[in-house]
Amino acid sequence: MASLKEDPILGIDGITIKEAFEIGKPVIDKLREDRLALETEGTVIKGESVIDKVREEGSGGQGERDMVPPTSNSINRSGSRPQLDLSKAAIEGNFEERDPTILLPNQSDDISHLALDIGGSLIKLVYFSRHQDRPTNDKRKKTVKERLGISNGNRRSYPILGGRLHFVKFETSKINECLDFISSKQLHRGGVDSHSWHSDTSSNGNAVIKATGGGAYKYADLFKERLGVSLDKEDEMDCLVAGANFLLKAIRHEAFTHMEGQKEFVQIDQNDLFPYLLVNIGSGVSMIKVDGDGKFERVSGTNVGGGTYWGLGRLLTKCKSFDELLELSQKGDNSTIDMLVGDIYGGVDYNKIGLSASTIASSFGKTISEKKELTGYRPEDISLSLLRMISYNIGQISYLNALRFGLKRIFFGGFFIRGHAYTMDAISFAVHFWSKGEAQAMFLRHEGYLGALGAFMSYEKHGLDDLMVHQLVERFPMGAPYTGGKIHGPPLGDLNEKASAISWMEKFVQKGTEITAPVPMASSGTTGLGGFEVPSSKGGTLRADASALNVGVLHLEPTLEVFPQLADPKMYEPNTIDLANHSELEYWFTVLSDHLPDLVDKAVASEGRTDDSKRRGDAFARAFSAHLARLMEEPAAYGKLGLANLLELREECLREFQFVDAYRSIKQRENEASLAVLPDLLVELDSMTEETRLLTLIEGVLAANIFDWGSRACVELYHKGTIIEIYRMSRNKMQRPWRVDDFDAFKERMLGSGDKKPCPHKRALLFVDNSGADVILGMLPLARELLRHGTEVVLVANSLPALNDVTAMELPDIVAEAAKHCDILRRAAEAGGLLVDAMINTSDVSKDNSSSVPLMVVENGCGSPCIDLRQVSSELAAAAKDADLIVLEGMGRALHTNFNARFKCEALKLAMVKNQRLAEKLIKGNIYDCVCRYEPAS
């Protein structure tokens, strides 16, 4: 039986709302039955879980609640009122997409899932959907938490269910469509995925939805009549400011500048955010001076805004929607309508006052002297002239108000902008020109949803002081395909669930391919206003930033923090390769495109080459190719682009098409082959002197790192021999000096020299890379040597699969198998909680294992071949606090990212270079060169 996901596909061709509910009815009925069963058994007490009750009454009435220190945003949870937990909010999505969704990882209570901003022109919705946590090894996590001293803070002790914030808009004139949408998804009752949505709630006449904007008053009776809910009205200005403050404080790369077609994202220092001017351009324009959280004053405004543009545009062009009017402007030439300085002065500049011939003297002024009717002018030209007139006017008035209060930063929001490049350029030029470059216009990705987001947050009034940028993660918006504002749906699942799903998917992919073509724009250099030239973009064209490929989503990923050993987090840049150079970009796109057929083949094979997997594989290839094509044409579309971003995009796209672990079977085979020869390797190592063994171990890590299915050169090697043959070949090439060779310095630190005795490291973090020989024959023996020296070892692995990288879920089983042949690994693994479930003979385990240094495994919080150390799991952050050695292994973690990173503790970066271009750019070397870079603590 098919099941509804967290965000069911509704309103798509071939799937009606009625059919969707028929599909989901068994799921809903099961939820009701489970809930009633729990209540009958007495396991639900006044809306609280048994765990909550025990926590209150256990240990003499104190229990766990009193043992956990309060945090800055601690909320007193009641059994009757659900709580909204916005901590660690983050965007899932690229830096460019409109309307990205926000994930709430720490949300554990059922909350009202909907808030609205009902304006004069548009209705903006923000709604919540559940996000199930990934499966976790609870026993391993429990031991790790005990060892590392990780507490749950103010969280409940049962697993946290995160979620996403979705953003949708409707024209206010089509409010009935909005009501149908809310009803179809049951958003006014918590959504079809809510645990509290059972028979009692369906008849609840006291349901309340938070709403702001004038329509919250105008349409209150309609909501009560159609949905049976009351609108709890929130102040519009309060909501706008709350929404803006939250985004600017909590979301990395929320704000950006836009000049001459070039977008640059701005990282806001929370300590230097206030004061600023917030200009909200809706139907009209409000200008708000913001001095802090809840501290603001509306200082000005203008009645010439988005409603003006749409209203006049509709009268003059007969366009049926705002978006149609905006699209029309992209093909316009306003010089046929606007009176320019050159029209007055015979085609020459007015140099005495600094006005060029192309400067606009009077918007629409040329129509005065021409004997034409409206039909004599092109709608495209009218639309562009109107857009420039209003944009320039808003920009100038905004700056004059900023000047009144000495404000240097102006943030523009509201649905007038729509992510439209020319609109943003026009506003930016106005601010830049009149301020002589002293003030700066900045824009927000969630520009149109400030009020709705503020209303959503008003379900619980609490501060956001503890929300730090480094706790958040941005990801490409692979989820919820969204085309033309009409298609909403969950990630692709079993394509056989509904025959029409195939046509929907293909339509989505086809649409994604279509948008890669350039959008025709007006020629540059034709107009300006008030003494400055028209905005011009490089290449002579400007295009709208809006993409129909995917809707962005804001994800709040659980427990992501900054890596505490970074020497300077503010200066840290993970990407080593900058793709700003077009030839560099083209090269890496070619590499990824060439690798695509092999990747699709592995993904399809991982699921038995079923017809369903073949269709999804083909769809993944087309969708990923569409992303690459768009980025080739518009590299800044997804924000600042680095090689790590491209690799992450590929993995996110695979997961979107339900290929969770494309290299699963390959990893299993390579693990088995490597484990079979590990005992012999350990015996060989133990026969060596300490100095010889250390060199052999480092050589082993470098040699084993050759096994990388993400490298074209290595894929070719796989066709020439077995993994053992490749490993032996690689070991035979380990001749020093290596291209980057700091081994002698590392050896001196490990073994001492002369009268200088070695001082063992306290804790080492080993960032592992690939499955098979890489981790088993390379990194595990190195970990064993560190354990022998009395160093705690933490193996750091991916949270999610990426290519053939080993994951934190897979590592305990690998260690358990290796421990069967090694007492050092066995004792350390037992101390680290890795052998809790291992099927090994423990009858001869020494009684003093509790004193052994532990071998632990933690997840890094990502699912990419690379790692951004501003976004790591709480497990890793806790383990890193007492670490005095970091070992970064592999191209992705030590070369593509973090090659230039500096740390507070010692660092060892080990990798074999498997790409000629990277070798030339990074180390001025060749393919298969080795890097052994040792760096003392900064």
Q: Which residues contact 290 (CB under 8 A, 6 or more apart)?
A: 241, 244, 245, 274, 275, 276, 277, 278, 296
Q: Which of 231-240, 573-582, 825-834 has the lowest mean pLDDT?
A: 573-582
Element (H, E) at 806: none
Q: Residue 863: what pLDDT?
A: 87
For 349-384, the pLDDT digits (tens) are: 777 776 777 788 899 999 998 889 999 999 999 999
Helix, strand and coil content of the chain, in percent to the nearest 5, comes to: 40, 15, 40
Q: 711 versus 312: which is more confidently predicted?
A: 312
Q: Which of 27-31, 188-192, 581-585, 614-618 has the lowest mean pLDDT?
A: 27-31
- CA-to-CA dists, residue 314 to 325, 328, 367, 401, angstroms: 8, 12, 18, 30
Task: Assign 348 a pLDDT band (cuts: 50, 70, 90).
Answer: confident
Question: What 3-state class would DSSP assign to 886?
Answer: strand
- CA-to-CA dists, residue 256 to 81, 159, 236, 477, 724, angstroms: 38, 36, 24, 18, 51
Q: 395 versus 74: which is more confidently predicted?
A: 395
Question: What 3-state class would DSSP assign to 763?
Answer: strand
817-834: average pLDDT: 93
Give which of 899, 664, 888, 584 is closest to 765, Cα–Cα. 888
Percent of the chain with pLDDT over 90: 38
Look up residue 364 and give its amino acid.
Answer: F
Assess whether pLDDT exceeds 80 at residue 301. yes
Q: Residue 87: what pLDDT?
A: 60
Question: What 3-state class would DSSP assign to 171?
Answer: strand
163-176: average pLDDT: 80
Round to whole Å and give the CA distance between 720 and 832: 39
Assess whether pLDDT exceeds 90 at residue 98. no
Assess whether pLDDT exceeds 90 at residue 142. no
Residue 178's φ and ψ, nearest 5 degrees, are -65, -45
749-766: average pLDDT: 92
Q: Which residues contact 900 (CB under 8 A, 6 or more apart)?
A: 573, 576
Mean pLDDT, the chain, whole residue set: 74
Q: Is 192 exposed, middle or buried (0-12, 13-18, 19+ CB in 10 A)?
A: buried
For the residues of 3-47, what is the DSSP string, one character each?
---SS--BSBTTB-HHHHHHHHHHHHHHHHHHHHHHHHTT-EETT
Q: Residue 88: what pLDDT?
A: 60
610-636: average pLDDT: 83
152-173: average pLDDT: 56
Percent of the chain with pLDDT over 70: 68
Q: Which residues of 303-319 are buried (b: 16+ CB within 10 A; e: fewer)?
A: ebbbbbbbebbeebbeb
Task: Assign 612 a pLDDT band (cuts: 50, 70, 90).
Answer: confident
Task: Assign 191 a pLDDT band (cuts: 50, 70, 90).
Answer: low
Q: Residue 96: what pLDDT?
A: 47
Q: Residue 928: what pLDDT?
A: 87
Half-sphere exposure of 335 (CA within 13 A, CB side): 18
What tokens were used for 590? 């070619």
862-877: average pLDDT: 90
**Residue 496 contacts residue 561 (beta carbons within 8 Å):** no
Give which of 768, 660, 744 is closest to 933, Cα–Cα. 744
Count of beta carbons in the 10 Å neighbourhood of residue 753: 11
Q: 762 versus 642: which is more confidently predicted?
A: 762
Give which of 7, 296, 240 is closest to 124, Cα–Cα. 240
Q: 265 versus 26: which is more confidently predicted?
A: 265
For 871-894, the pLDDT digits (tens) are: 888 889 999 999 999 999 999 999
**Residue 464 contacts residue 135 (beta carbons within 8 Å):** no
Give which of 825, 470, 867, 903 is closest to 651, Cα–Cα. 867
Assess whether pLDDT exceeds 70 at residue 323. yes
Residue 42's φ and ψ, nearest 5 degrees, are 80, 15
Q: Which of 37-46, 127-136, 330-339, 566-575 has the lowest mean pLDDT?
A: 37-46
Tokens 């929370």 belong to residue: 270
Count of beta carbons in the 10 Å neighbourhood of residue 224: 14
Cα dihedral 426/428/430/433 (nearest 10): -130
Q: Beta partners for 450?
A: none
Round to whole Å and give the CA distance between 286 and 301: 4
Give which of 583, 586, 566 is closest to 574, Cα–Cα. 566
Q: 175 versus 838: which is more confidently predicted?
A: 175
Q: 543 versus 488: which is more confidently predicted?
A: 543
Round to whole Å and give the CA distance between 434 and 409: 14
Q: Which of 343-357, 423-437, 447-461, 872-886 has the lowest mean pLDDT?
A: 343-357
Assess whether pLDDT exceeds 50 at residue 133. no
Round to whole Å and give the CA distance between 522 and 381: 9
Task: Assign 742 a pLDDT band (cuts: 50, 70, 90).
Answer: very high
What tokens were used for 881? 């606090």
Half-sphere exposure of 814 (CA within 13 A, CB side): 33
Assess whether pLDDT exceeds 50 at residue 546. no
Round to whole Å and give the CA distance between 220 and 211: 9
Assess whether pLDDT exceeds 70 at residue 544. no
Q: Residue 733: what pLDDT?
A: 72
Q: Which of 18-22, 95-99, 138-142, 553-557 has the lowest mean pLDDT?
A: 18-22
Q: 900 versus 562: which is more confidently predicted?
A: 900
Round to whole Å and give the CA distance between 63 and 737: 60
Give which of 274, 283, 128, 131 is closest to 209, Cα–Cα. 128
Cα dihedral 344/349/353/359 (nearest 10): 70
Task: Assign 654 a pLDDT band (cuts: 50, 70, 90).
Answer: confident
Give which of 207, 200, 202 is closest to 114, Cα–Cα. 207
Q: Residue 85: what pLDDT?
A: 57
Q: Residue 101: what pLDDT?
A: 54
Round to whole Å and give the CA distance between 51 and 64: 10
For 405-427, the pLDDT digits (tens) are: 999 899 998 878 887 888 999 99
Q: Residue 27: what pLDDT?
A: 38
Q: Residue 47: what pLDDT?
A: 32
**Residue 860 contacts residue 563 (beta carbons within 8 Å):** no
Q: Residue 431: what pLDDT?
A: 94
Round to whole Å and give the CA distance between 611 and 794: 42
Q: Residue 147: what pLDDT?
A: 76
Q: Residue 460: what pLDDT?
A: 61
Q: Is 477 exposed, middle or buried (0-12, 13-18, 19+ CB in 10 A)?
A: buried
Residue 749's φ and ψ, nearest 5 degrees, are -65, -40
Count of beta carbons in the 10 Å neighbourhood of residue 816: 19
Look up residue 110 and give its amino acid.
Answer: D
Q: Which of 520-529, 535-544, 782-791 has the lowest mean pLDDT?
A: 520-529
492-511: average pLDDT: 33
Task: Assign 559 a pLDDT band (cuts: 50, 70, 90).
Answer: low
Q: Residue 533: what pLDDT?
A: 38
Count of beta carbons in the 10 Å neighbourhood of residue 396: 18
38-45: average pLDDT: 37
442-458: average pLDDT: 87
Largest CA distance in the chain: 103
Assess whether pLDDT exceeds 80 at residue 286. yes
For 617-628, the pLDDT digits (tens) are: 988 888 788 788
Look up residue 369 and give its amino acid.
Answer: S
